[in-house]
């Protein structure tokens, strides 16, 4: 305890003896007598001088002459006693034998420790001085020690009083001897409530159920070891509970006690619990997050594996959420997600788990299920609940939901397996037209697997340039003149041979691989168009199919511009074929994209017209050049008056709007003749040619004579 020690003054090496006498000869005699003692001698010839010396030095003993002119010895003694510094300094009065008995008494009463009458025996005086100085030395030491102890005690007390940790001293009998203020505060009481009480009374069982002598506290104490408990619970005086970490160390043996330090762990534990719960909850909805759901499913699976029960995982995806989020803003989107979360929760049983595991994707875990059909009922209810009219910020809109269901153990045995299966089933539900639920089936799994394989080989094909382009000619029905070609994609599979685009284009789209191919198609097609122009004339048109994903890409126009520039082509010679569904996916974006295409100057055709929304209304809003009647109508129109009516209506419509109309899939002379009669402009189909390699396309006649056409060829 360095602080405590520094407060005590050091003792002088040799003590100072002050001799006071107004007569010089007396002083000299004293000096001669006392010079060689175990002390340092100081002389003063007046009371004033003596007091000055007393102020300047720590004087151990004063030999004080009683009779002095001015300030006499008694007065000096009185002043010394009035000063705390010299209050206890011993004084020996020296006086002539002639002094009266009264003077002696007076001397003692002013604080003298002794009285020496002249003449005196020098050796007796030396002894007196010696013993008084020793006494004074001891007194000084004792004082210093007391001071030191006092300061050490104050220091310890302040440490104990100010420590943030609870500190107890517990006797070997298990009773609390001392408690510091922090401990009292932690236990919601006063120090006095604790002192004398049993330590175990404040501890929660089962830490020491068998009494003090069997408690680990006592057993460790006996062995002289420290006992630590990281997760103990203390009972407060108000009946509450406090999580603490405890350590109990024995004090030195003679104390027969131990010191117990208690660390308040409630903040740490709360923080811990908070972090734990943050890690598994979704901040927006307060539901579980993906991690939380994983955990819930994991523990549920572990539990039921033994009981043979069934659980179902529901995977719910909102239909149309993205649109609302994009158009009404993220605040509204967030509100909506919160509301949906509440609705879903209300519809589940309290012990079912519900999570939001992605933007607008929710999962539910239905525990303890009797039949898979029960899961279907819940799914139906969820869809119904979500698919109502919602009003947020004064705006009305409808949402929808698609749900996939996977049951344990049929559809998967692991957390990942079940989630994947439910996800897959959800996609099937969406594909089937939304607002539906689907159970996962093995067939789905098979499809997913072959899809994976297909995807893999598509990636290969792109790297190995296994794709080729074929060109199908289009002819003007009236004049028989070649209008141009539609470029069609083929995959030359090493084993399977030619693969039709219907098989792989959707997958290319889903995986966005289409973007890597599209650029190549543009460049290759543009190069071929340059060759067609040389062969057939400058007005040849090349039709390029643009898939919905491609149509949605912002860089489409820039890509087209680049190929046009690279091959010195007129924009009007390129025709972009887009399906109705591609146009309808996002009307705002469609408007903008069509405007850009128009500014670029390429032609725009609607492909497979009549099959999609068949909404003639939108035709007025979009600026187009060409309608391509879907080949199903052409195939059926001669047998089905309905289809014939559709075809002639489209032709009329096109004429009114000033659009070119192309009939696709014309396979017979009868179809051609019917179309000519109904003033359709252009035909394309096996009647003339399927998609053929570029070299074959270059051999096409620029002008057809319909009557000499050979039997239709098929691809
Ligand atoms: P589509 O744009 O409607 O293309 C016309 C399809 O009809 C082609 O099939 C063509 O071979 C076929 N066809 C032409 N004439 C006849 C006929 O007289 N009878 C019959 N039964 N069929 C005929 P294909 O080449 O299998 O292409 C299928 C679809 O794949 C295309 O439909 C188009 O949507 C897409 N596609 C083809 N090539 C590309 C491409 O390069 N890029 C993109 N994005 N999609 C493409
Ligand atoms: Ca097409
Ligand atoms: Ca078509």
In a domain, 332, yes or no: yes
Residues with beta carbon inside 6 Å of ligand 1?
472, 488-489, 500-502, 505, 521, 545-547, 577, 607-608, 631, 664-667, 684-686, 690-691
Nearest CA owner, ligand 1 atom 46: 545
* Domain end residue (candidates: 269, 293, 326): 269
Task: Return the ligand 1 atom nearest residue 488 CA.
Answer: 38
CA distances from 102 to 90, 98, 119 (A): 20, 11, 19
The reply to whether 559 and 673 lie within a common domain is yes
Measure the CA–CA gap between 19 and 65, rounded to whole angstroms. 8
Going by C-alpha positions, the residue among 702, 605, 706, 693 that lies closest to residue 654 is 605
User: Which residue(s) pair with 682 in the sheet?
Assistant: 476, 662
Q: What's the rounded mean pLDDT across residues 175-197?
A: 92
CA 488 / ligand 1 centre spacing (Å):
6
Per-residue pLDDT at 545: 96
Strand pairing class (395-398; 574-579): unpaired
CB 600 within 8 A of CB 637: no
Q: What is the whole-number distance in angstroms between the Cα of residue 455 and the centre of ligand 2?
A: 23
**Would you say the C-alpha torsion 452, 453, 454, 457 has a positive or negative sign?**
positive
Both 218 and 127 in one domain: the answer is no
Q: Region 15-32: what's the mean pLDDT? A: 91
Instruction: Please state whether beta strands 541-545 and 574-579 pair in parallel, antiparallel, or not at all (unpaired).
Output: parallel
| Most confident region among 55-59, 141-145, 322-326, 660-664 by mean pLDDT | 660-664
Residue 518 and residue 623 in one domain: yes
Q: Give a yes or no: residue 457 inside a domain.
A: no
Q: Give 473's strand partners.
A: 485
Closest CA to 341 of 397, 285, 293, 387: 285
389-392 and 395-398 beta bridge pairing: antiparallel
**111 and 192 part of one domain:** no
Give distance in angstroms: CA of 607 to centre of ligand 2: 5
Task: Name the CA radius of gyration of the chain, rounded.
Answer: 54
Mean pLDDT calculated for residue range 376-395 = 84
Among the candidates 119, 145, 171, a domain finishes at 145
Q: Which ligand lies nearest the alpha carbon of 685? A: 1
Distances in Å between the Cα of 425 and the Cα atoms of 319, 363, 712 are 15, 13, 44
Ligand 1 centre distance from Cα of residue 571 (Å): 23
Q: How far apart are CA 312 and CA 294, in angstroms?
A: 13
- Cα 522 to averaged position of ligand 1 atoms, centre (Å): 16
Q: Whose CA is nearest to atom 7 of ligand 1?
A: 665
Q: How far is the CA of 486 from the centre of ligand 1 (A)?
A: 9
Listed in order, strand segments (DSSP E) in 74-173 are 91-96, 114-118, 166-171
Percent of the chain's residues with pLDDT above 90: 47
Largest CA distance in the chain: 174
Q: Which pLDDT score is estimated for 8?
A: 41
Q: Which residues pair with 63 in a beta bridge?
A: 19, 92
Substitution site in 522, 545, 665 for ligand 1 pocket (most atoms within 8 Å of beta carbon)? 545
| Atom number of ligand 1 nearest to Cα 628 | 3
Q: State the total domains in the chain.
A: 4
CA–CA distance, 690 with 714 (Å, rounded to integer): 6
Ligand closest to Cα of 488 equals: 1
179 assigned to some structural domain = yes
- Mutating to test ligand 1, I would choose from 461, 486, 490, 501 the residue with most ligand atoms within 8 A of its C-beta, which is 501
**292: CATH:** 3.30.70.270
Residue 629 shares a structural domain with residue 693: yes
Residue to probe by mutation, ligand 1, list 458, 468, 488, most atoms within 8 Å of CB: 488
Long-range contacts of 589-594 (CB under 8 A, 24+ apart): 589/552, 590/551, 590/622, 591/621, 591/622, 593/551, 593/552, 593/556, 593/557, 594/622, 594/623
First to last CA, the chain: 103
Q: Which residue has the higher pLDDT, 272 or 644?
A: 644
How confident is the prediction for the chain on average, in pLDDT?
Answer: 87
Q: Is residue 448 part of a domain?
A: no
Distance from C-alpha of 195 to C-alpha of 214, rounded to nearest angstrom:
22
Q: Of 405, 440, 475, which residue sits at a domain end?
A: 440
Whether the model clears a pTM of 0.75, i.e. scores above it, the answer is: no
b or e along 520-549 (b: 16 or more beta carbons within 10 Å of the residue's beta carbon)? ebbebbbebbbebbeebeeebbbbbbbbbb
Residue 306 CB burial class (10 angstroms; 0-12, 13-18, ≥19):
exposed
Write down the pLDDT at residue 63.
92
CA of 464 to the centre of ligand 2 (A): 25
Closest C-alpha to ligand 1, atom 34: 545
Q: Which domain holds residue 170?
A: 163-269
- Domain identity same for 376 and 498: no
| pLDDT band at residue 712 under the 50/70/90 scheme | low
Residue 7 gets the label, from left (phi > 0), alpha (psi -120 to 50) or beta, of: alpha
Q: Which of 408, 451, 459 is nearest to 431 (CA)?
A: 451
Give the separation between CA 530 and CA 485, rounded to whole angstroms.
12
Q: Is 239 among the domain residues? A: yes
Same domain, 572 and 632: yes
**What are the pLDDT digits (tens) for 278-300?**
888 999 999 999 999 999 999 88
So what's the pLDDT on residue 589? 85
pLDDT band at 715 (very low <50, low <70, confident <90, very high): low
Higher pLDDT pick, 700 / 394: 700
Q: Is residue 447 part of a domain?
A: no
Q: What's the confidence (pLDDT) of residue 5?
A: 41
Residue 141 CB contacts under 8 Å (≥ 6 apart), including other chains:
11
Nearest CA to ligand 1 atom 22: 665
305 and 372 assigned to the same domain? yes
Same domain, 609 and 490: yes
Contacts of 531 (CB under 8 A, 6+ apart): 694, 698
- CATH number of the domain within which 638 lies: 3.20.20.450
Q: Compute the distance between CA of residue 378 and CA of residue 88 in angstroms, rounded to an integer.
A: 97
Are 250 and 291 in the same domain?
no
Q: Which of 338, 425, 342 is nearest to 385 (CA)?
A: 342
Q: Provide the CATH number for the domain around residue 61.
A: 3.40.50.2300
122 occurs within a structural domain: yes
Mean predicted confidence (pLDDT) in 89-115:
79
pLDDT at 416 over 70: yes
Query: Model confidence over 512-529: pLDDT tens digits?
Result: 788 889 989 999 999 999
Residue nearest to atom 19 of ligand 1 (CA): 665
Band (pLDDT 50/70/90 cuts) for residue 691 is very high
**For residue 173, what are the CA distances in angstroms to 169, 197, 226, 233, 490?**
11, 11, 17, 21, 93
Q: Is residue 710 part of a domain?
A: no
CA distance 75 to 66: 9
Query: Which ligand is closest to the CA of 684, given by its number?
Result: 1
Report pLDDT for 576.
Answer: 96
The number of the ligand 1 atom at minimal distance from the alpha carbon of 550 is 44
Say yes or no: 357 and 482 in one domain. no
The tens digit of pLDDT for each residue in 231-289 reads: 888 999 998 889 999 999 999 999 999 999 999 888 788 888 888 888 889 999 999 99
If asked whether residues 672 and 533 sit together in one domain, one would say yes
DSSP string, 605-673: EEEEETTS---THHHHHS--SEEEE-HHHHHHTTT-HHHHHHHHHHHHHHHHHT-EEEE----SHHHHH
Can you tell me the distance from the alpha carbon of 490 to that of 303, in angstroms, rounded to the nearest whole number? 53
Q: CATH no. for residue 224?
A: 3.30.450.20
The neighbouring-strand residues paired with 316 are: 362, 403
């Amino acid at each position: 305890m360095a602080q405590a020690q520094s407060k005590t003054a050091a003792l002088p090496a040799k003590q100072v003896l002050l001799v006071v006498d107004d007569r010089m000869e007396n002083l000299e005699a004293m000096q001669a007598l006392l010079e060689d003692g175990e002390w340092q001698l100081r002389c003063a010839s007046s009371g004033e001088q003596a007091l000055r010396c007393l102020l300047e030095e720590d004087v151990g003993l004063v030999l004080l002459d009683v009779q002095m002119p001015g300030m006499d010895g008694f007065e000096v003694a009185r002043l010394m006693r009035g000063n705390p510094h010299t209050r206890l300094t011993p004084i020996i009065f020296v006086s002539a034998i002639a002094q009266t008995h009264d003077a002696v008494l007076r001397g003692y009463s002013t604080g003298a420790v002794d009285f020496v009458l002249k003449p005196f025996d020098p050796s007796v005086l030396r002894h007196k001085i010696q013993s008084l100085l020793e006494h004074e030395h001891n007194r000084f030491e004792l004082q210093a020690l007391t001071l030191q102890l006092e300061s050490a005690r104050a220091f310890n007390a302040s440490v104990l009083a100010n420590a943030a940790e609870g500190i107890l001293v517990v006797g070997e009998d298990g009773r609390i001897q001392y408690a510091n203020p922090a401990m009292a505060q932690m236990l919601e009481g006063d120090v006095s409530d604790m002192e004398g009480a049993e330590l175990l009374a404040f501890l929660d069982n089962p830490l020491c159920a068998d009494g003090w002598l069997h408690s680990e506290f006592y057993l460790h104490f006996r062995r002289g070891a420290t006992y630590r408990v990281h997760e103990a619970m203390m009972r407060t005086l108000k009946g509450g509970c406090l999580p603490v970490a405890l350590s109990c160390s024995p004090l030195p043996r003679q104390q027969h006690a131990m010191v117990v330090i208690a660390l308040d762990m409630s903040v740490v534990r709360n923080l811990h619990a908070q972090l734990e719960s943050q890690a598994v909850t979704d901040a927006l909805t307060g539901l579980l997050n993906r991690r939380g759901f994983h955990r819930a499913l994991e523990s549920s699976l572990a539990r039921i594996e033994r009981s043979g029960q069934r659980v179902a995982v529901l995977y719910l995806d909102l239909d149309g959420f993205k649109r609302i989020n994009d158009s009404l803003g993220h605040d509204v989107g967030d509100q909506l997600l919160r509301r949906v979360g509440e609705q879903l929760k209300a519809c589940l049983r309290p012990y079912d788990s519900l999570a939001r595991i992605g933007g607008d994707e929710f999962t539910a875990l239905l525990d303890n299920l009797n039949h898979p059909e029960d899961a279907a009922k819940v799914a139906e209810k969820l869809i119904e609940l979500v698919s109502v009219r919602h009003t947020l910020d004064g705006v009305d809109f409808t949402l929808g939901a698609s749900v996939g269901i996977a049951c344990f153990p049929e559809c998967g045995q692991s957390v990942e397996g079940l989630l994947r299966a439910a996800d897959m089933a959800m996609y099937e539900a969406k594909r089937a037209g939304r607002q539906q639920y689907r159970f996962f089936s093995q067939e789905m799994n098979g499809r997913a697997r072959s899809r994976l394989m297909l995807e893999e080989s598509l990636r290969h094909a792109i790297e190995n340039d296994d794709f080729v382009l074929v060109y199908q000619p289009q002819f003007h029905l009236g004049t028989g003149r070649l209008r141009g070609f539609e470029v069609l994609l083929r995959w030359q599979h090493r084993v399977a041979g030619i693969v039709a685009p219907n098989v792989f284009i959707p997958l290319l789209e889903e995986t966005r691989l289409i973007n890597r191919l599209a650029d190549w198609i543009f460049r290759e097609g543009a190069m071929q168009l340059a060759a067609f122009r040389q062969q057939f004339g400058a007005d040849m048109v090349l039709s390029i199919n643009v898939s919905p994903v491609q149509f949605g890409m912002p860089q489409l126009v820039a890509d087209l511009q680049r190929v046009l520039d690279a091959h010195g082509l007129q924009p009007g010679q390129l025709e972009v074929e887009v399906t109705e569904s591609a146009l309808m996916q996002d009307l705002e974006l469609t408007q903008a994209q069509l405007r850009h295409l128009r500014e670029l100057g390429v032609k725009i055709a609607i492909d497979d017209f009549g099959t999609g929304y068949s909404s003639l209304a939108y035709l007025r809003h979009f600026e187009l050049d060409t309608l391509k009647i879907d080949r199903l109508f052409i195939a059926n129109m001669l047998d089905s008056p309905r289809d014939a009516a559709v075809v002639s209506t489209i032709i009329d419509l096109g004429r009114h709007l000033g659009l070119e109309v192309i009939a696709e899939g014309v396979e017979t002379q009868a179809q051609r003749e019917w179309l000519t009669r109904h003033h359709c402009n252009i035909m394309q189909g096996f009647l003339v040619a399927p998609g053929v390699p570029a070299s074959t396309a270059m051999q096409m006649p620029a002008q057809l004579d319909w009557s000499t056409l050979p039997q239709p060829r098929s691809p």
